[in-house]
Chain A
Amino acid sequence: MKRNIYLILFTGVISVFLMRTIVLSEVPKEDIYDPGILKPTDSVLKVKVGDPLPDFKLPAVSGGEVSLSQFLGKNNVVISFVPAAWTPVCSDQWPGYNIAKELFDKYDAVLLGITVDNIPTLYAWTNHMGDLWFPVLSDFWPHGGFSRKLGILRSDGVSERALFIVDKKGIIRYIGVHDINKRPSLGDIARELKKLEK
């Protein structure tokens, strides 16, 4: 009797694998500009955990404006800053959050994605990510104004790859300024959201 084993091995960034095989949507590889390895961080934070997050009002790709104040008293807020549209790590990070809505819902949290790109650029880029369930906001004008206020605007004008978690009172409970070259783990967000329960 033959006992050969046949093995199929698939590899993929899980979010990308999903996007390709289930909703067939992914930022096309040929359209991604690779800036190479960058200085991990390049700015000095101007806020700290325990501070109130400065209010902001930024235009959303889906139309209208989104501000912090509209969530006060209602939701915890997770803000994901990514440096730039059409770059390698950023193009994987938000599609990854797309499969994790339940995690955010569990902790009464809304997610906001922000870059310093303008709305038309963000529109074209995020159109390749399937239907993102969270708002994507533009901190384009005045250029990187909100990022600068937080101290996460790099010297070349893009923001850091940073995560902020703000509680329902508007207080910053977590700041993660990550190595710009690496995608932060979903586990970081899960761990920090869990802490808000205490």
Chain B
Amino acid sequence: MKLIGIGVTNDAFEVEYFRKTYNVPFPLFEDEDSVILEQLGIKATPFFIGVKINDDGTHQVFYTQLGGFERAYEFLDLILKQSGLK
């Protein structure tokens, strides 16, 4: 399971500041002009998308969630179950 984050309306400086401040161990990308957000049709954030990428290069979205969560471990457990890995 890989995790990536996208900072909507954040520029490279802000994303780097965030990554350093919180020692974020996974890749973060800036989406300063909300291009990615618009391409995905997301209206509000935070938004979570679970994607399964297959051997043949195809992929399926297996989970989406608008809004945050209270406990990280519960969210990760939910994602593992939704993905079929657990």
Q: Size range of the interface on B?
A: 35 or more
The count of chain A contact residues (Cβ–Cβ below 8 Å) is 31
- Known pairs A6-B50, A16-B46; list 20 more (Cβ under 8 Å): A4-B52, A5-B2, A5-B52, A5-B53, A7-B1, A7-B52, A7-B53, A9-B48, A10-B5, A10-B49, A12-B46, A16-B45, A17-B7, A17-B45, A21-B68, A24-B70, A99-B17, A183-B9, A186-B17, A187-B12
Produce 1/0 per residue, A118-151, CB < 8 A to B: 0000000000000000000000000000000000
Produce 1/0 per residue, A1-26, CB < 8 A to B: 01111111111111011101100100
Q: How far is the CB of B80 from chain A (nearest CB, A)?
A: 9
- Asked whether, in the complex, the Cβ of B14 is within 8 Å of the Cβ of A187, the reply is yes
Chain B's closest residue to A186 (CB) is B14
Within the complex, which residue of A5, A7, A11, A16 is in contact with B31, where a contact is CB–CB below 8 Å?
Answer: A11
In Å, the complex CA distance between A109 and B31 comes to 29
Please indicate the chain A residues that have their CB under 8 angstroms from the CB of B47 in the complex.
10-12
- B residues sitting closer than 8 Å to A (CB atoms) are 1-15, 17-18, 21-22, 31, 36-37, 40, 42, 44-55, 67-70, 72, 79, 83, 85
In Å, the complex CA distance between A14 and B14 comes to 8
Please indicate the chain B residues that have their CB under 8 angstroms from the CB of A102 in the complex.
21
- Asked whether, in the complex, the Cβ of B51 is within 8 Å of the Cβ of A11, the reply is no
Please indicate the chain A residues that have their CB under 8 angstroms from the CB of B6 in the complex.
9-12
- Asked whether, in the complex, the Cβ of B48 is within 8 Å of the Cβ of A14, the reply is no
- Asked whether, in the complex, the Cβ of B17 is within 8 Å of the Cβ of A3, the reply is no
Please indicate the chain A residues that have their CB under 8 angstroms from the CB of B11 in the complex.
185, 187
- Asked whether, in the complex, the Cβ of B53 is within 8 Å of the Cβ of A4, the reply is yes
